[in-house]
Chain A
Amino acid sequence: MLASVLFYFGAAVLLVAAVFVISAKSPMRSAMALIVALCAQAFLYVLLDAAFVAAMQVLVYAGAIMVLFTFVIMLLNMQAEHQTQRSLLSFSRLGGGIAIGYFVWRIISSVTHADSKPVDGSVLAIGKLLLSDYLFAFEAISIVLLVAVIGAVVLGLKRLT
């Protein structure tokens, strides 16, 4: 009972914030609404007993990546857009329509095929999975991150010539 009330509350916040992300004119307000949406998503993860994923969602997305977003918005000094670029509108509609259709199909198919089983969301279980089943993906991602760090250092070096 309590869990379902909390779920509908979290889902409502998530949807309202997500709609606000695309409807807000000012990029800064969009970014703030996105943070609210990400936090609401973390809340839903908590309800699913996936506390580790929820904490990571807040720490990485809401805390770090969104700070980067707001930095970029501030540095570019972006103002509210008053006119939309007509030429891109039809493409956006088409792409958005396809995405919505795909996700609706995924949700319906996952709800009707009730073969999902509960997973252990504890830190211990995730750690074991990362170091056994998903070891290759885990190491590959760390190499990608290392490459990104080295790339940032190379780009940031002052050219002496």
Chain B
Amino acid sequence: MEALVQWIFANVAIPELFQPYVTAAIIGAGAGAIVTFAAIYAGIFIFFERRIGARMMSRVGPNRVGPQGVLQWLADAVKLIIKEDIIPDSADKPLFKLAPYLMAMGVFGGFAVLPFSHRVIGADLNIGLLYILAITSISVVGILMSGWASNSKWALFGGMRSAAQIVSYEIPTAMSLLPTVLLAGTMSTQGIIRAQAGEPWNWYVFHSPMMFILFFVYFISALAEGSRTPFDLPEAESELVSGYNTEYSGFRFAAYFLAEFANTWIAAAVGVIAFLGGWQIPFVSLEVLESATGLQAVGLELASLVVFVLKTLVLVFLIIQLRWTLPRIRVDQMMSLCWKYLVPTVFICTILMLGWMIILPWESMLALGIRVLMFLMGVGLLVAYVVRIRYNIVAAGDKVYAKWAV
């Protein structure tokens, strides 16, 4: 965004007097574009989640609105917007009205520092990762506020549970990103991606066994922070009606789900940035990417965009798949998983990583050999995963007719 502003000022003659207004307008337009992307992503995500979930459960899923039901999410949104907005009589009205927007603000704010390709990014802050952690912690306040302001015991229980869960899982999330920051020497999202390379064995996830474990710790804690199954305790329908959003209806209710679904992109994108090499194109070095001009630059830019979005969508698919595969865990299991397993694992891995970084520098041949070995192990794991899924599909039998049946 900053580079765009400078480029415009360098190429278009704008009087000194108007430059602040032009800057503000460009930043405003950029912010609008990012929020629009987040909202549309959340909508399309709902459609795909419902269709994929239906396939996994041998159902058809929504297929009536538009071809194959692709417009279902628009119909849902229209329905929610024209619904009556009910505010309970005994609710704390200003706080009740404010809470969903605080939650949405916390999530949409995180999109500002997420890159989409080599040059497309809202703002390349030098505290990128820390900013994401900080701004998403605001949504906890929104959840607590909605639970309290609803003045209903189910909403209050849901809000408290949710806040306890998110505050606890913030620790493994933040700590599992720390070794990445140590390796890259920067917290800027673009800087971390630049420090890696396009080839999979140069991704941080395959740097060492510890990083491989930390990737999974990050992924589990990100699931819990986003209240996704198996950690969707805040919305445990069988116990809490619907959790902190029980009393909400209409657009405010939609705002909660918009934020929650948009959060899946943040969780996946941060994983891609910190562990999976971001937008780096395999076998295209950073110098080529930086020095390309004209049509070649546009092509490489698009390629990096596709690489980043594809990687993110693979993780998003994994999040969807987990939701329709695993049962919800209990509250005490959720807490003991965080404090008894994830937090100690993260601490041990971080300390081991410090030693590893001193003994085996990034450039040494031995380190490269270990990275390649780790990569081969990762490929083996992926093959095992695919074989297992195929086995399950064959065993269950594919009972739903679809053109793209496996």
Q: Which residues of A contact B (CB under 8 A)?
A: 1-2, 26, 28-29, 32, 35, 39, 51-52, 55-56, 58-59, 62-64, 66-67, 70-71, 74, 122-123
Whether B130 is near chain A, meaning CB under 8 Å from some CB there, is yes
Question: Total interface residues on B, using CB and 8 Å?
Answer: 30
Which residue from chain B places its CB closest to the CB of A66 in the assembled complex?
B141
For residue A52, which residues in chain B have a CB less than 8 angstroms away from its CB? 127, 130
Distance, CA A7 to CA B122, complexed state (A) = 22
CB-based contact B167/A67 at 8 Å: yes
Which residue from chain B places its CB closest to the CB of A4 in the assembled complex?
B20
- A124 CB to closest chain B CB (Å) equals 8
Interface stretch of the complex, out of B132-140, B307-315, B348-356, B391-399: B132-140
Q: Given A2-B23, A123-B126, A32 and B95 touching (CB < 8 A)?
A: yes
A-B contact count (CB 8 A): 76
A-B contacts, 23 of them at CB < 8 A, read: A2-B20, A2-B23, A29-B95, A32-B145, A35-B141, A51-B127, A52-B127, A56-B130, A56-B134, A58-B134, A58-B135, A58-B138, A62-B141, A63-B170, A64-B167, A67-B144, A67-B163, A67-B167, A70-B144, A74-B144, A74-B148, A74-B160, A123-B186
Distance, CA A111 to CA B328, complexed state (A) = 58
For residue B133, which residues in chain A have a CB less than 8 angstroms away from its CB? 55, 59
Which residue from chain A places its CB closest to the CB of B160 in the assembled complex?
A74
Chain A, interface SS category: helix
Determine which residue in A2, A26, A59 has the highest number of CB atoms from chain B within 10 A of its CB, and name it.
Answer: A59
For residue A63, which residues in chain B have a CB less than 8 angstroms away from its CB? 134, 137-138, 140-141, 170
For residue B94, which residues in chain A have a CB less than 8 angstroms away from its CB? 29
Whether B187 is near chain A, meaning CB under 8 Å from some CB there, is yes
CB-based contact A64/B148 at 8 Å: no
Whether B389 is near chain A, meaning CB under 8 Å from some CB there, is no
Beyond the given A29-B95, A62-B137, A67-B144, could you list 15 further A-B residue pairs with CB under 8 A, ordered by the A residue number?
Answer: A28-B92, A28-B149, A32-B141, A39-B138, A52-B130, A55-B131, A55-B134, A56-B130, A56-B134, A58-B134, A59-B137, A63-B140, A70-B141, A123-B126, A123-B130
Distance, CA A63 to CA B141, complexed state (A) = 7
CB-based contact B127/A123 at 8 Å: yes
For residue B23, which residues in chain A have a CB less than 8 angstroms away from its CB? 2
Interface set, chain B 288-327, CB cutoff 8 A to A: none
Distance, CA A70 to CA B163, complexed state (A) = 10
Distance, CA A112 to CA B322, complexed state (A) = 61
For residue A29, which residues in chain B have a CB less than 8 angstroms away from its CB? 92, 94-95
Chain B, interface SS category: helix
Distance, CA A62 to CA B138, complexed state (A) = 7
Whether B125 is near chain A, meaning CB under 8 Å from some CB there, is yes
CB-based contact A28/B131 at 8 Å: no
Distance, CA A51 to CA B124, complexed state (A) = 12
- B343 CB to closest chain A CB (Å) equals 12
Distance, CA A58 to CA B149, complexed state (A) = 22
For residue A28, which residues in chain B have a CB less than 8 angstroms away from its CB? 92, 95, 145, 148-149
- B188 CB to closest chain A CB (Å) equals 9
For residue B156, which residues in chain A have a CB less than 8 angstroms away from its CB? 74
For residue A59, which residues in chain B have a CB less than 8 angstroms away from its CB? 130, 133-134, 137
Within the complex, which residue of B92, B125, B148, B187 is in contact with A70, where a contact is CB–CB below 8 Å?
B148
Whether B24 is near chain A, meaning CB under 8 Å from some CB there, is yes
Which residue from chain B places its CB closest to the CB of A57 in the assembled complex?
B134
Distance, CA A32 to CA B140, complexed state (A) = 12
Within the complex, which residue of A1, A26, A32, A58 is in contact with B137, where a contact is CB–CB below 8 Å?
A58
Distance, CA A128 to CA B141, complexed state (A) = 33
CB-based contact B140/A67 at 8 Å: yes
CB-based contact A71/B160 at 8 Å: yes
**How would residues 175 to 203 of chain B score, 1 for a CB under 8 Å from any chain A CB and 0 otherwise?**
00000000000110000000000000000
For residue A64, which residues in chain B have a CB less than 8 angstroms away from its CB? 137, 167, 170
Distance, CA A23 to CA B226, complexed state (A) = 35
- B236 CB to closest chain A CB (Å) equals 19
- A52 CB to closest chain B CB (Å) equals 5
Q: Given A62-B138, A64-B137, A70-B144, A51 and B20 touching (CB < 8 A)?
A: no
For residue B144, which residues in chain A have a CB less than 8 angstroms away from its CB? 67, 70-71, 74
Distance, CA A66 to CA B149, complexed state (A) = 16
Distance, CA A56 to CA B138, complexed state (A) = 12
For residue B138, which residues in chain A have a CB less than 8 angstroms away from its CB? 39, 58, 62-63
Distance, CA A122 to CA B128, complexed state (A) = 12
Determine which residue in A35, A66, A67 has the highest number of CB atoms from chain B within 10 A of its CB, and name it.
Answer: A67
CB-based contact B141/A71 at 8 Å: no
For residue A71, which residues in chain B have a CB less than 8 angstroms away from its CB? 144, 160, 163
For residue B170, which residues in chain A have a CB less than 8 angstroms away from its CB? 63-64
CB-based contact A2/B24 at 8 Å: yes
- A19 CB to closest chain B CB (Å) equals 16
